[in-house]
Copies of this chain bind each other. A is one copy, B any other.
Amino acid sequence: MKKSLGAKIIVCATHVWVVGTYDKTGKPNIMTAAWGGVCCSQPPCVAVSLRKATYSYGSIGERKAFTVNIPSADAVKQTDYVGIYSGRNTDKFSVAGLTPVRGDLVDAPYIQEFPLVLECKLLHTIEIGLHTQFIGEIVDVKAEASVLGENGLPDVGRIIPFFYNPENRTYYKIGEYLGKAHSLGRVE
């Protein structure tokens, strides 16, 4: 029996991505974004949604670039910090003890200490309502050598990503392996 809960964001879990930008003075900034996701395979694109009120909003518009930095569970406190405060009056990299590195291909900084980073060029800006969606083309992905598995790709068990539960405002680690996609569900 289903119960109606109304018109709300109730989705159980979202990823936790940290968006990196340079402001107009060249100061590197980061903010945590749980609204977003992959949105296209060719060109490879991700979307992140930000409120106009955020400091990062203006920076993405000006630099036409951002990075997506995927944290490990052991960075949950730093990641939460980055989502609470504004870069308008704080150097969040410095307070969080994180190191900005200039992107190789885009005009945005990434986080040296995070295991997986995506350099993105702004492709589309979609005004939706309270949030504006920025669609960025992934022009390069960089990973720490220590998180790569034998196949040369990032290993979930070494990155240990975590998730945000919007309805209860809580974080959860990734858990147990369930099986192979495009395989478990095959029928004769």
Contacts and interface: CB of A to CB of B under 8 A. Distances in A.
Contacts of A41: 9, 35, 129-131
A83 B180 CA distance: 12
Contacts of A45: 128-129
Nearest to A78: B185
A93 to B, nearest CB: 14
Contact of A153 (B133, B141, B167, B180): B167
Contacts of A133: 39-40, 47, 135
A128 B40 contact: yes
Given A10-B118, A39-B126, 14 more contacts: A3-B143, A5-B142, A5-B152, A7-B44, A8-B141, A9-B138, A11-B15, A11-B118, A13-B161, A38-B166, A39-B128, A39-B131, A80-B185, A80-B186
Interface of A: 1-15, 34-47, 49, 68, 70, 73, 76-85, 95, 104, 112, 116-118, 123-124, 126, 128-131, 133, 135, 137-145, 148-149, 151-156, 159, 161-187
Count of chain copies: 2
Contact of A47 (B37, B68, B173): B37
Contact of A183 (B68, B80, B82, B156): B80
Contacts of A154: 5, 10, 12, 167
Given A173-B178, A180-B170, A37 B40 contact: no
A57 to B, nearest CB: 14
B145 A11 contact: no
